[in-house]
Amino acid sequence: MPPSDWPAGIHRELAQAKVRLVGFVPDAGHKRLIELCQADSSMRTVVLTTEEEGIGLVVGGWLGGEKGVLLMQSSGVGNIINVLGTVKECRIPLVTLVTMRGEEGEFNPWQVPMGQATRGVLEAMGTVVHAPSSAEDIAPTVGTALRLAYNSYASVAVLIPQRVIGIKSFQEQAAR
């Protein structure tokens, strides 16, 4: 598997960890991973109207004995702040995979405030943040995040850097 196919690496980690529920708000950076999860009959993908719904989904899933993860863009982290409090208070294991915007090479200024605040917001709400720096580091980092979350009943986020996703313009994003 070439390093550029980090979504396949993430999918393999999710499958090995027996993740059954995958909640997502679509994002260009997550396109391939979403498709891999949709094609996997052991996973139930749930498209959400807002990222906040994903927290309810994962909490309910864990009450019922199943593991869930969330896929979102960094802007979506702003939509889950309050409900991360529920995850903390109830000690629900949660892995959130965040594709970053508003950092290196951003072309949309409206993405920059939330992108720059993403790590701080997550940490302020008690979520452990892992930030792999290269494509080959992403899947192993997701593997460690899954182990930390499920062994320690923790909320863990993995920030996938914008440099790895590499979208340079609106036109390129729309073409994916």
Partner 1 sequence: MTLHRRDAVKKLLENRGELLVVAGLGSTAWDCTAAGDSPLTFPLWGAMGQAAMMGLGLALAQPKRRVLVVTGDGEMLMGLGSLATIGVQKPANLSVVVIDNERYGETGMQATHTASGIDLAGVARSCGLTIFDFKDHRAAIHERPGPNFAVVKVAAEKIPLVLPPREGALLKARFRRALLGPEADLA
Footprint of partner 1 on this chain (CB under 8 A)?
20-21, 44, 46-50, 52-66, 68, 82-83, 85-86, 89-92
Partnered with residue 68 across adjacent β-strands are 21
State how far the alpha carbon of 13 is from the alpha carbons of 74, 90, 115, in Å.
21, 25, 26
Q: How far is the CB of 24 from partner 1 (least distance, A)?
A: 11
| 78, 169, 132, 118 alpha-carbon torsion, rounded to 10° | -20
Q: How far is the CB of 43 from partner 1 (least distance, A)?
A: 11
CB of 3 to partner 1, least distance (A): 33
Comparison of 153 and 173: residue with beta carbon closer to partner 1: 153
Helix orientation angle between 51-63 and 81-90, rounded to the nearest 10 degrees: 10
Length, in residues, of the chain: 176
In angstroms, give the least distance from the CB of 108 to partner 1. Answer: 24
Q: Which is nearer to partner 1, 38 or 173 (CB)?
A: 38
User: Nearer Cβ to partner 1, position 27 or 53?
Assistant: 53
Question: Parallel, antiparallel, or unpaired for β 67-73 and 94-99?
Answer: parallel
**Which residue, 87 or 165, has its beta carbon nearer to partner 1?**
87
Q: Which helix (H) or strand (E) holds 63?
A: helix 51-63
What is the number of H-type helices and E-type strands within the chain? 9, 6
- Measured from the CB of residue 85, what is the shortest distance to partner 1 in angstroms? 6
Residue 34 or 167: which CB sits closer to partner 1?
A: 34
